[in-house]
Amino acid sequence: MKSEIFVKNNKGVTLIEAVIAILIAAITLTGFLQVCSMSAFILQSIKYRMRAVNIAQAEIEDLKAETYSDIVSGVYQTDIIIDEGPSSSSDDDIVGQLQTTIKNVTNAPLQGKKVIIEVSWELLGESKRDILETVIYSHL
């Protein structure tokens, strides 16, 4: 003979079960949305960094294209625009700084000019920068 204590009611989901299921789903969804948001920020940061490195590399290539005697030592600074992408709108552009430092280098028997390119910008209140260095030798 079965006792009435062990009789299971399978008629439906109780209110407590439904609330717990919704709570678990909400916590899971919140965590997932935070991960997606952070991934989008990291992806945007990588895009700007790639564009900054490309700008610095183009500056180095421009200097290499000049004759050695035309490359003058000094520090040169200019504003740049790091373009976010294909849109023609400037709303997604970031204004940054390009600083070119050129120093004479003597490593006997070679003479050259050390070129340091620094690109800096601000993304969502955080300062970012990338630096590329190279040496341009007189005999090349």
Instruction: For 69-88, write each residue's pLDDT tens digit.
Output: 899 999 999 999 887 666 66
Supply the pLDDT for residue 30: 93
Peptide bond connecting 86 to the previous residue in cis, omega within 30 degrees of 0 = no
- pLDDT bin (cut points 50, 70, 90) of residue 37 is confident
d(C-alpha 110, C-alpha 18), whole Å:
78
- Report the sign of the C-alpha dihedral through residues 47, 50, 54, 55, in that order: positive
Domain segments of the chain: what residues?
11-137
- pLDDT bin (cut points 50, 70, 90) of residue 7 is low
Instruction: Quote the pTM value.
Output: 0.69
Supply the pLDDT for residue 9: 60
User: Phi and psi at residue 3, in whole multiples of 5°?
Assistant: -85, 150
Supply the pLDDT for residue 2: 54
